[in-house]
Structure 1
Amino acid sequence: MQSIAEKKKSQNIGEYLIYMYQMEDLIRSYQGNMEEIKQYVISHYPVSEEEKAKITAWFEGLLERMKSQKIMEKGHLKELFDLVENLANLHWNLLKTDKTYFETYNKAKPFILDAILAADGENPGNEIQICINGIYGLLLCRLLGKKVEDQQIKAAEAFGEVLSLLNFNNQQRIFMSPN
């Protein structure tokens, strides 16, 4: 899990965030019971016992962070929130400086506005959080076998294009920054 998460984080930050949201929800679905997570999840991974031990330690660390940040019921880890905020800052900069990004964003904007209206007064987060939530919502609907409306698919596709271009620019920024 750690290697999957780290690989996703280095290659596609949007995929990483959605993956980590899945892992948070997986832990919640077992009410943080590590014995059940080991029995029903980790034991089924086709990896060595040594790898399973590493995966278990990774889940335990994630569980501890979730408990310490009091997000066992809902919410996301602060580190994920911070990544979304960093992406949102990049998003705002790109809107002002990158015509292609601006055009891609404009295709997603009606769906973003729909999500804000659907939030019915609750804070749906920044526009990048809305895009991530839209894709994650589609994923959850499909996993749960729920009917997916065409509008939801169109929104997720538009959100995916924004996140893909944002990831590209994020990768460029990381690659270009001096260490």
Structure 2
Amino acid sequence: MFIARQKKQENIAEYLLYMWQLEDILRSCRLDIHLVEQALIAPAGYSEEQKKEVREWYEGLLMMMKSEGIQQQGHLQINKNLLLDLTDLHRSLLKDARESQYIEAFYKALPAIVEFRSKSGHQDVSELEACFTALYGYLLLKLQKKEISKETETATKQISHLLALLSQKYKTRDLEPE
């Protein structure tokens, strides 16, 4: 919870990837709060007050996952909504001639996005969702210590750069007066 809060404030793209990973971790705990306590809460060294707060947060996530029917796969509606919000921002940035740095980063990453969508069979997802899915897959490969090709490394760097710029724009957008 504390990591999620910090990531949400600092880098919205990292936050979304973290939340996707957390969904998978909660599934690996069979959406059982007792297993979550053993695996995530107890080893963290929280104070009793922090443990209570974190447990309630995890219980809320578990309840949402169950009520939304995503016990096996899929993403929480709050994460889907965030992705939609980021997609709206992404599209508006692409239409804004003043955003040449973002537009350039997008067109540099576009071949990698197109290739990922064609290889993965995710033709029906937005470009931005494809970026997040590709990065999440890359992170899983790294965690599993699997070999990653030079092409994948290059594509991942381009997509990461794009999402870093998007995160900066998201953060500054929230700071700008209406």
Q: Aligned partners of 1:62, 1:40: CA distance in 2, in Å? A: 16
Paired letter, 2:9: S
Q: Residue 136 of structure 1 aligns to which amino acid in structure 2?
A: Y
Q: Which residue of 1 aligns with 2:144?
A: 144
Structure 2: gaps of 5 or more residues: none
Q: Is the 8 A contact 1:124 1:130 kept in 2?
A: no
User: What per-residue deviation string (whole Å, max 9, x for no partner) do you get for residues 3-37 of structure 1?
Assistant: 32122112211011011011100001111121111
Measured in 1, the distance between the counterparts of 2:152 and 2:72 equals 25
Measure, in 2, the Cα distance between the counterparts of 1:159 and 1:73.
Answer: 27
Matched letter for residue 23 of structure 1: L
Tell me the secondary structure at the aligned position of residue 148 of structure 2. coil
Amino acid at match of 2:139: L
Q: Deviations over 1:36-86 (max 9, x none)?
A: 111122110022122122111111110001111111111101111111111
The answer to whether residue 94 in structure 2 is matched with residue 95 in structure 1 is yes
| 1:24 corresponds to | 23
Equivalent position amino acid for 2:136 in 1: Y
Distance 1:112 1:18, change over 3 A: same
Whether contact under 8 Å (1:30, 1:37) holds in the other structure is yes
Report if the CA contact (8 A) 1:134-1:155 is conserved: no
TM-score (norm 2): 0.93
2:65 matched to which residue of 1? 66
Counterparts of 1:146 and 1:34 in 2: how far apart (Å)? 31
Identify unmatched segments of 5+ residues in structure 1: none
Letter aligned with residue 119 of structure 2: A
State how far apart, in whole Å, the 2-side matches of 1:144 and 1:41 are.
20
CA distance in 2, matches of 1:172, 1:25: 30
Q: Contact 1:5–1:19 at 8 Å: present in 2 too?
A: yes
| RMSD over equivalenced CA pairs, Å | 1.4
Q: How many angstroms apart in 2 are the aligned matches of 1:45 and 1:104?
A: 38
Instruction: Determine the C-alpha separation between the residues in 1 that align with 2:86 and 2:120.
Output: 21
Contact 1:112–1:131 (Cα < 8 Å) also in 2 = yes
Structure 1 runs (4+) greater than 3 angstroms displaced: none
User: What's 2:128 paired with?
Assistant: 128
Read off the aligned partner of 2:107 and give its amino acid letter. Answer: N
1:46-61 matches, cutoff 5 A: 46-61=45-60
**What is the Cα deviation at residue 172 of structure 1?**
1.6
Residues 1:124 and 1:42: Cα distance change in structure 2 (over 3 Å): farther
Q: Compared with structure 1, are the counterparts of its residues 83 and 177 closer, same or farther at alpha carbon in structure 2 (3 Å cutoff)?
A: farther
**1:3-14 paired onto structure 2 within 5 Å:** 3-14=2-13
By relative contact order (CA 8 Å, sep 6+), the higher-ranking structure is 2
Residues paired across the two proteins, number: 176
Distance 1:177 1:128, change over 3 A: farther
